[in-house]
Amino acid sequence: MNSLAESLQLKLENCAHRALVPLETKRDFLEVSAEIVERVDPIFYSDPQTAATRALGLK
């Protein structure tokens, strides 16, 4: 499985600047380079319903 940093880098390379990130991986942001952190807008979620709501910009 890819690390969070690798996933975020791949999203950036494909012109995505927002990323849905499971709340349980929030600690993994400590391992992500400052360059990536500055360029991505993480949207944390704890369950699928919250992920869908946030992805649609409803909350």
Range of the domain at 45: 4-55
Main-chain dihedrals φ then ψ at residue 28, nearest 5 degrees? -65, -15
Class of residue 4 by CB neighbours under 10 A (exposed 0-12, middle 13-18, buried 19+): buried
* Residues 24-39: tens digit of each pLDDT: 998 998 889 999 989 9
Token reading at 13: 């390379």
For residue 26, the model assigns a pLDDT of: 87
Query: Which pLDDT value is given to residue 33?
Result: 92
pTM, 2 dp? 0.74
Tell me phi and psi for residue 43, to 5 degrees: -120, 105
Which residues of the chain register pLDDT less than 50? 1
Domain count, the chain: 1
